[in-house]
Amino acid sequence: MRTSTDFSPLYRSFIGFDHLAGLIDKASRADKQSSYPPYNVELLAEDRYRVTMAIAGFAEEELDIESKQNTLIVTGTKAGNVDKTERKFLHQGIAERNFERKFQLGDHVKVIGAFMEHGLLHIDLEREIPEALKPRKIAINGKSLLQQSNSEVGS
């Protein structure tokens, strides 16, 4: 039996956080993606990340990486092998199936590069916070700006 969670208190209490509540709601839904291919997410530095996916058997031209609307989508499409009829497997443990893996990215996170090495796909990400959103120090002066402008008008 599945119980659903009501997130309406979040919408009432936190103005401007409806996007966050929507993400929580989306994550709690039953439609989970498959676990193929396996992946790691690493923190390389304060604002740098790396997603590493185990994609043995895929060539670079069979992979597609796309970033749109805070979502990173990695798609692998295996081309039909002509020589597969000639090969006889006693055991086939390396998956050769198509896949699509989606990662939800945080605000201001962008893909800066990707490379393949030893059957692993590495995707480097970086968070770049715009200058207008970075914290800034506010100086404390003896008078408010209104008091300063009134004293300048009076002189």
- Digit-by-digit pLDDT tens for the chain (155 residues) are 455 666 566 555 555 555 666 666 666 654 566 778 899 999 998 889 999 999 988 888 999 999 988 889 999 998 765 555 677 888 888 877 899 998 888 888 889 999 999 989 999 999 887 777 777 788 887 666 666 666 666 55
Closest to 75 in 3D by CA, of 31, 123, 27 = 123
Q: Do 86 and 67 share a structural domain?
A: yes
Provide the number of structural domains found in the chain.
Answer: 2
Q: Do 59 and 20 share a structural domain?
A: no
Report yes or no on whether pTM surpasses 0.85.
no
Q: Do 96 and 31 share a structural domain?
A: no
Contact 26, 69 (CB under 8 A): no
Omega within 30 of 0 (cis) for the link into 37: yes
Q: Is residue 12 part of a domain?
A: yes
Q: Do 22 and 50 share a structural domain?
A: no
Q: Do 127 and 74 share a structural domain?
A: yes
How, if at all, do strands 99-104 and 109-117 pair?
A: unpaired
Residue 92 belongs to domain spanning: 38-133
How many angstroms from the chain centroid is the CA of residue 59?
23
Q: Give the C-alpha separation, 123 to 113, whole Å.
A: 6
Q: Do 123 and 55 share a structural domain?
A: yes
Q: Do 78 and 45 share a structural domain?
A: yes
Contact 66, 18 (CB under 8 A): no
How many angstroms from the chain centroid is the CA of residue 129?
15
Q: Do 112 and 74 share a structural domain?
A: yes
Q: Is residue 152 part of a domain?
A: no
Q: What angle do CA 47, 49, 52 make, to 5 degrees?
A: 180
Q: Do 16 and 68 share a structural domain?
A: no
